[in-house]
Amino acid sequence: MKSMLSHEPGGPETLVMAELPEPEPKAGELRIRVRAAGLNFPDTLIIRDLYQVKPSRPFAPGGEVAGEIEAVGEGVSGFAPGDRVLALTGHGGFSTHVIAEAARVARIPDRMPFDEAACFIFTYATSHHALKDRAQIRTGETLLILGAAGGVGAAAIELAKAAGAKVIAAVSSKEKAEFCQELGADETIIYPLDMDRAAQKAFSDRIKALSDGNGVDVVYDAVGGDYAEPALRALAWKGRFLVVGFPAGIPKIPLNLTLLKGSQIVGVFWGAAVRRDPRGHAENMAELFALYEKGQVKPRIHARYPLHQAAEALTLMQDRKVLGKVVLTVD
């Protein structure tokens, strides 16, 4: 099999294509012939040793894949060779073959193509867990999404609209704002890349103005950095601030704001939630597939690259130039 391997900490340019023996599934595992691998921001971190999980080297990045089951390990039921599936792999997905725990594999609808399936679980399941399980968002509430044109942000727009919420999409360019409007965002805000104190106040004021002066009920923060505090200041009474990611850096939050607003800061660690509550994850996936079948959610694929161009694909993602998702096609 072929894999794009990380031999040392570094950027996408350090990945090297290698030939490896095909792995055999152990008890509770499946071997998947990968047809497509979705890219996510953690892939840019894990190769630099900046992610929570640090695999032993050499390893291939790639935490979500779609393909066909080739081999079934001992004790696995409900799957057979030839089944079309998607899987969470943690890493290893930038390969022609990968081993996955059966508990982290799901069959995909017949009409779902592999490229869309490989872009589905990480973003939609993260955002569904965030909005449903952590924020408990309700019909009629207002949601602000920071980084709304990225993978999880775009998924959050569709899921929030399906839940009956009003969506304010905050992004860094006109092109991204137009993309979010196409997805169903009710309002958009274009924020500056240099967020000084004056810009922070203007950003917070704009959020409040678009939420009838009352503030937003939920903030979905997939950006962090200097964008977090003004969003928190724009929360309504008893609002919920979802901590999703920090591509702009880990923010320092004045906690007196949570007291004044009776608000909550809520962590969203979807990967841990999958491990701790597999039944809840299965229920969420069933709900997501139902939304897909109804046409209420559909992965937006910004670009497709062949496996050997994984470095170029990751560079596009780390430079925050992606509208939706990037996928590797694996022939």
**Total number of domains in the chain:** 2
Residues 68 and 183 in one domain: no
pLDDT at 330: 94
Looking at the structure, do residues 313 and 264 belong to the same domain, yes or no? no
**Does one domain contain both 244 and 312?**
no
Instruction: Give exposure, 28-62, as e/b (b: 16+ Cβ within 10 Å).
Output: ebbbbbbbbbbbbbbbbbbbeeebeeebeeebbbb
Contact indicator for 189, 170 with CB cutoff of 8 Å: yes
Q: Looking at the structure, do residues 261 and 198 belong to the same domain, yes or no?
A: yes
Residue found by looking up tokens 């080297």 in the block = 57
Structural domain including 173 reads: 123-271
Query: Which CATH number do you get for residue 304?
Result: 3.90.180.10
Whether residues 249 and 140 share a domain: the answer is yes
Q: Which helix (H) or strand (E) holds 225?
A: none
Q: Are residues 213 and 308 in the same domain?
A: no
d(CA 88, CA 108): 13
The one-digit pLDDT tens for each residue of the chain (331 residues) are: 999 999 999 999 999 999 999 999 999 999 999 999 999 888 999 999 988 889 999 999 999 999 999 999 999 999 999 999 999 999 999 999 999 999 889 999 999 999 999 999 989 999 999 999 999 999 999 999 999 998 899 999 999 999 999 999 999 999 999 999 999 999 999 999 889 999 999 999 999 999 989 999 999 999 999 999 999 999 999 999 999 998 889 999 999 999 999 999 999 999 899 889 989 999 999 999 999 999 999 999 999 999 999 999 999 988 877 888 899 999 8
Same domain, 14 and 87: yes
127 and 265 co-located in one domain: yes
My answer on whether 112 and 224 are in the same domain is no
Do 107 and 132 fall within a single domain?
A: no
Return the CATH number at 206: 3.40.50.720
Residue 29 in any domain: the answer is yes
Query: Is 78 in a helix, a strand, or coil?
Result: coil
Residue 282 lies in a domain: no
Is residue 133 domain-shared with residue 266, that is, in the same domain?
Answer: yes
**Confidence at residue 275, expressed as pLDDT on a 0 to 100 scale:** 87
pLDDT at 271: 86
Is the Cβ–Cβ distance between 229 and 146 less than 8 Å? no
The model's pTM: 0.89
Both 73 and 134 in one domain: the answer is no
Report the pLDDT value the prediction gives residue 52, as an integer from 0 to 100: 81
Give the pLDDT confidence score for residue 303 in this predicted structure: 94
